[in-house]
Amino acid sequence: MAASSYRLDFYLWFRFNSSEISLDDVKEFEFVNGYSTKYEIYSSKEHGYLEYRVRGDFIKTFDFSRYPFETHKLTIELEHKKLNASYLSFEIDQTSNVDETVNIAGWEIGDFEASATEHSYGNEIYSRFIFSITLKRPFISSFIKSVLPIAVITTISLLAFVISPKTLLKE
């Protein structure tokens, strides 16, 4: 997170009407917020289906103003390289999900959200697909690791003002 980036490994699929768009056109997409390697798993022109396994580094500016109790949204954003929104529009597949076994050490996985929006570049408007997942630090562990040690050290330091120097000299 210090480098404002995160590495993800996920599956991405496209369902399309092959009478309206070609398989080669569907393959021409790019990740707007990252650099990735995509491995084609399966494609079928007849069934209008294309599936990838994607591994990549994605970029986001993180807000640490609520440290150690912060939450962050990790996003994957993609657009078609050439076809604007009048030719191609992304739609959400309601079967999208996050595997129950996904974990990130020191973080709780929150909700995920998939959406399709439009993004303009001057006069051109492109459809943009956005998938986001929320990460949050567990409250108890954040408190124990960050707040409790400071409270203990401060309490011990303040005890020095409570103890009278005369009491120490008598012993």
Both structure tokens of 35:
């650099």
Dihedral of CA 42/28/62/72: which sign? Answer: negative
Neighbours of 51 (CB within 10 A): 15
For residue 79, what are the CA distances in angstroms to 100, 120, 125, 127, 149? 28, 11, 11, 6, 47
Query: How many domains, in total, are found in the chain?
Result: 1
CA distance between the termini of the chain:
53
- What domain range includes position 117? 5-137
In a domain, 148, yes or no: no
- pLDDT string in tens for the chain (171-residue length): 667 889 999 999 999 998 999 999 999 999 999 989 999 999 998 899 999 999 999 998 888 787 878 888 999 999 999 999 999 999 998 888 888 888 888 888 889 999 999 999 999 999 999 999 999 888 777 677 777 788 888 888 888 787 766 665 655
Q: Are 127 and 91 in contact (CB under 8 A)?
A: no
pTM: 0.77
In a domain, 35, yes or no: yes
Q: What is the pLDDT of residue 1?
A: 63
In a domain, 166, yes or no: no
Reduced to 3 states, what is the DSSP secondary structure of residue 165?
helix
In a domain, 58, yes or no: yes
CATH number at residue 28: 2.70.170.10
Q: What is the pLDDT of residue 32?
A: 95
Q: What is the pLDDT of residue 141?
A: 75
In a domain, 159, yes or no: no
In a domain, 34, yes or no: yes
Q: What is the pLDDT of residue 70?
A: 85
In a domain, 169, yes or no: no
Pairing of strands 34-44, 71-80: unpaired
In a domain, 14, yes or no: yes
Tokens 């003002």 sit at which residue? 161
